[in-house]
Amino acid sequence: MKRVNPNAFCPFPAILFPHRAAASKLTLTLALTTISFFSVGQWRDSELRKIDQYISEVDSLSFRSQTSFQLVKFLTHEDRYLEHWHYSEDGGRIVVFQIGYAIDSIEFSEVYYVDKGRLVCSEEYETVNHSLFEDELRWGGIYYFVGLVPRRVVSLGKKGGIERRFESREDPVMEARERFQRRYNELLRHLPMLPH
């Protein structure tokens, strides 16, 4: 029976790596690192593709079937504004809802994509409404979630005049999740009062 030398295999020329065992270990380490890096990247991209696919399907549904209502909200006893709510259901479950309102010359828009009661994607925008010019996006944020974990966060501009930075004490992801939960609960409270 012929014995095989474990150090005999080396994918690199012996001139470059005189110690074949070290080269084999280096090759194995590089291969595993590369595979794990690409696997995590592909897994993450796969998750985002699934979310994008879900959003596309929900958007298509909301173009065909959407329910709307309005709520009056108060800033003070005398100052109030009107919120416009739109939502779509699939199989009796809320899959997307949007809230739009204006205070002074600033328009606010919030969009929440929901899967089985959990936030999948949140979009928020603040736009300065110039009556004679184009609207100006002052701040925007899009958050993609898998469970409670944010998978991608995109934000730009300023919110409330304060520039958003990750080193600040504010956590925009936590704010988005908390705002979703408040808004989702508010929607669920109003659903029984709406005509079907």
- Determine the Cα–Cα distance for residues 159 and 164; give it in Å rounded to an integer: 7
At residue 43, the pLDDT reads 53
pTM above 0.85, yes or no: no
Three-class SS of residue 90? strand
At 196 the pLDDT is: 67
SS3 151: strand
Alpha-carbon dihedral angle through residues 164, 133, 84, 173, given to the nearest 10 degrees: -10
pLDDT of residue 139: 85
Q: Could you tell me the residue ranges of all domains in the chain?
A: 62-193
pLDDT of residue 149: 84
pLDDT tens series, the chain, 196 aa: 444 444 443 333 344 344 444 444 444 344 444 443 444 455 567 888 899 999 999 998 888 888 999 999 988 888 899 999 999 999 889 999 999 999 888 899 999 999 999 999 999 999 887 666 666 778 888 999 998 888 888 888 766 544 433 334 467 888 889 999 999 999 999 988 887 6
Residue 146 near residue 47, CB atoms below 8 Å? yes
Q: Using only the alpha carbons of the chain, give its radius of gyration.
A: 26
User: Helices (DSSP H) in the chain: which residue ranges?
Assistant: 20-64, 172-190
